[in-house]
Structure 1
């Protein structure tokens, strides 16, 4: 299946809208605007963008995310930076379509085994 040349990745679109101050446009249009607060929706999108930062040290921990969700203030002091996954997509003409994106993540995983006594 060949990708639609006019298609745009969600994260790239989200970042562009955020930069333009129009990230509220990411909210599903089928939702009734009277059923949610626009500023709260913007805040959720900003927190989500903060979770896409390249370095794990720049991303909020889950406990910080909870605090951010519960706080009533704005996120002026913790603005996201451009996610590393928002790179230009190169399309190769012909039968194949490829895209490139660069990322420099130092993400690690750990596993714990729990046993009963």
Structure 2
């Protein structure tokens, strides 16, 4: 978001990919009507807050083919990976431990992730965005 990468950028990306797999939706796709459109991460967070994790699942998935509690746990791990600050995100080795163990997510509660471009669409359907990115120009001279 600010043009700076850290070792936890991979963790964030992993969380997004997990949400994409579970939902069958690209992270850049916008769902909803013109007045209340939202990206995958925004939708995932709202469903998590309401305790409606399973509404995120792709519609074609048969409820008899998965363990609901396991899916909720994986969604929570994905949201932990998308925390607003890199310091709040687990490392990838911690994510592996979370995925392998059954009850280790109970004591961890995700906080609201970073939403890039929260005002996705205006009423007219025009895209809006803002950026805090900085650019610099470097001039290299020969010796």
TM-score by length of 1: 0.72
Runs of 4+ in 1 over 6 A off after TM superposition: none
After superposition, the Cα gap between the structure-2 partners of 1:96 and 1:27, relative to the gap in structure 1 and judged at 3 Å, is closer
**Per-residue Cα deviation, 1:11-70 (whole angstroms, up to 9, x for no partner):** 111000000000111111211111110000011100100111121111011111111011
Partner of 1:108: none
Give the TM-score taking structure 2 as reference length: 0.60
For residues 92 and 30 of structure 1, the distance between their equivalents in structure 2, rounded to whole angstroms, comes to 30
Gaps in structure 1 of 5+ consecutive residues: 103-117
2:69 to 24, 39, 43: 39
Asked if structure 2 preserves the Cα contact closer than 8 Å seen for 1:89 and 1:101, the reply is: no
Q: Using the alignment, how far apart are the partners of 2:104 and 2:120 within structure 1?
A: 36
**5+ long unaligned stretches in structure 2:** 1-29, 133-143
Aligned residue pairs total 100
As a proportion of its length, which structure holds more helix?
2
Deviations 1:62-113 (A, max 9, x none): 11111101111152211100012167416456684313488xxxxxxxxxxx
RMSD, aligned α-carbons: 2.6
